[in-house]
Amino acid sequence: TSMFLEDVADAVEDRHYPNLPPVTRVPFREALRDTVSFLGVLIGANVLALILYVFFAPAALFIFWGLNGFLLGREYFTLAAMRRVGREGAKQLRRKHMLTIWIAGVLMAMPLSVPLMNLVIPILGAATFTHLFHQLWQRAPSG
């Protein structure tokens, strides 16, 4: 995901934020560590979701959207933010704006349930989270 997001984020920034300095690329080793860490969160969250699906079957679609919205928002926002503010800066922004990021993730997860539409959503999601990062970053107090 991070390599794919880089291309989309570069295109978005070139077009909409042309005066930004070049990004510092995340080294492959760090990207791999982040991927493995996210995989652990993904597995744990989905095991919990399986239990919730059994007990709350009528709400399964909403559980799916909520969980995947959280996971997608977390991953896409972190990857977009790390390009500009590093891992710690991305974590701080993500914590501060968790609800906004979660809602954007849910809005990304919902169309992922639709066949064929799910092929274009990752591109739109990468662009959306790049814009979202820049909006939240501009609002953050510097210092």
pLDDT value of position 139 = 84
Helix (H) or strand (E) holding 55: helix 28-55
pLDDT value of position 141 = 66
CB-based contact 96:141 (threshold 8 Å) = no
Output the six-digit token pair for 119. Answer: 């092929």
Select from 124, 126, 128, 108 the least CA-distant residue to 67.
108
Region at 142 (left for phi over 0; alpha for psi -120 to 50; beta for the rest)? beta
pLDDT value of position 118 = 84
Question: What is the count of structural domains for the chain?
Answer: 1
Q: Which residue has the tokens 């959503």?
A: 121
Tens digit of pLDDT at every position of the chain (143 positions)? 566 788 899 999 999 999 999 987 777 888 788 888 888 988 999 899 999 999 999 999 999 999 999 999 999 999 899 989 988 999 999 999 999 999 999 999 999 888 888 888 889 999 999 999 999 998 876 54
Q: Which residue has the tokens 């968790």?
A: 98
Residue-range definition of the domain harbouring residue 82:
2-139
pLDDT value of position 143 = 47
pLDDT value of position 1 = 59
